[in-house]
Structure 1
């Protein structure tokens, strides 16, 4: 697929590869990026590992397979996933360009 609705930074890709190689993620799993609904109309982003299913689009970035539910794509276009590591926080961050 030519569409890449979500861009993953180099730092985030390195952390994803580290997790995939060192945390026992099965080889047939992909990085799943999606949305979750919250109370009062709030929406959040989720990231994890999962198998591709028929309702997904898929693509890869730097040899990392990525899957997104087709229903979530319109909410994720323009999203950048980064990895932050400093004295105050460590983890993935989501930056949406409007």
Structure 2
């Protein structure tokens, strides 16, 4: 089985479903008082969306295709990196005022 065969067999809603599962896990972690892990998972979901948008053809990426490919990748990837980096760099001393 080649990559082309895998791309043609992938259901059109599978990429979005995968991203939403990661984002849901992030929301669960956030709602259970683990906001840092949840935020990193949410950022990771956006990074996965960017990678899927790069790898999959437009007709197979489903609802992850909002605008042109470069704009989608820039927005998904950029926001995902920013969220993840911010969540990992905020320390407890910053949250406690000093």
TM-score normalised by length of structure 1:
0.26
Whichever structure has more strand as a proportion of its residues is 1
| Larger Rg, first or second structure (1 or 2) | 2
TM-score, normalised to structure 2, is 0.26
